[in-house]
Amino acid sequence: MNKDARLAAGAGLVSQARLVGGALNLLTIVLLTRLLSKEDFAAVALVYLVQETLNAFGPLGLDSALSFFVPKLGPRVSRALGVHTGAILTALAVPYALVLFFGGSGIAEIVDIPGIDAALAWLALAVLCDFPGQTLPQYFIATERYVGAFWVTLVFYVSRFASLVVPAWLGAEITTIIALFAGVAVLRAAMYLVYFAFIAKGPLRGPEVRGQWRVRDLFAYGLPLSLSLIVGKLNVQLDKYLIAAIAAAEVFAIYSVGATELPLVPGIAYSVTGALVPALVVA
Write down the domain spans for the chain.
25-282
What is the average pLDDT across 190-200?
Answer: 94
pLDDT digits (tens, 9 = 90+) for 39-97: 999 999 999 999 989 988 888 888 888 888 888 888 888 899 999 999 999 999 999 99
Q: Average per-residue pLDDT in the chain? A: 85
Say what the pTM is.
0.88
Has residue 280 got a pLDDT over 60?
no
pLDDT by residue (tens digit) across 134-149?
999 999 988 889 899 9
Residue 226 has pLDDT above 60, yes or no: yes
Query: How far from 122 is each of 6, 40, 64, CA to CA, in Å?
Result: 41, 15, 26
